[in-house]
Amino acid sequence: MKIRALESEDLHFVHELNNEYSIMSYWFEEPYESYGELQHLYDKHLLNESERRFIIEDDGERVGIVELMEINFIHRHCEIQIIVAPSHEGKGYAKFAFNEGVDYAFKILNLHKVYLLVDTQNEKAIQIYKKQGFSIEGELKEHFYTNGQYHNAYMMGLLKKNRFNL
């Protein structure tokens, strides 16, 4: 298992994930994105310092994505997002990807905090995040609209000092 930088040849894989309703509903995103739009976004953000995108691989097979978004080098924090393809769920990829993504944020980018938003009803994900050291910092009421209704979200965070017991 490894993570590596997202390359243009990975876009077809990303396109499939971005158009899967079961995935995008957890990301509070509309499962609709054309390949052309994805290519445009890739080209536009290629040199963007506020984002890092990685592919999760296992024996050369793409199994998911890790993204560090909204990287802020003044306040030294970012948001982390992970998608594991439905056919590869339950195999430890999310845990691996979180470790790698968080370590990259803290050890390579020298960030102070990594945070995420998660649907309060997504108990499986919340448990994964808590096992990685994230704690609930607050609840955002009716913050996202998906599948015909509003959902609350937790903001969860992890400080570098708590990750490495500094």
Catalytic residue numbers, as ranges: 129
Locus of tokens 């050291």: 133
Cβ atoms of residues 115 and 69 within 8 Å: no
* Strands 149-159, 113-119: pairing kind: antiparallel
Catalogue the E-assigned strands of 27-164. Answer: 52-58, 61-72, 77-84, 113-119, 135-146, 149-159
Neighbours of 107 (CB within 10 A): 12
Contacts of 128 (CB under 8 A, 6+ apart): 94, 95, 98
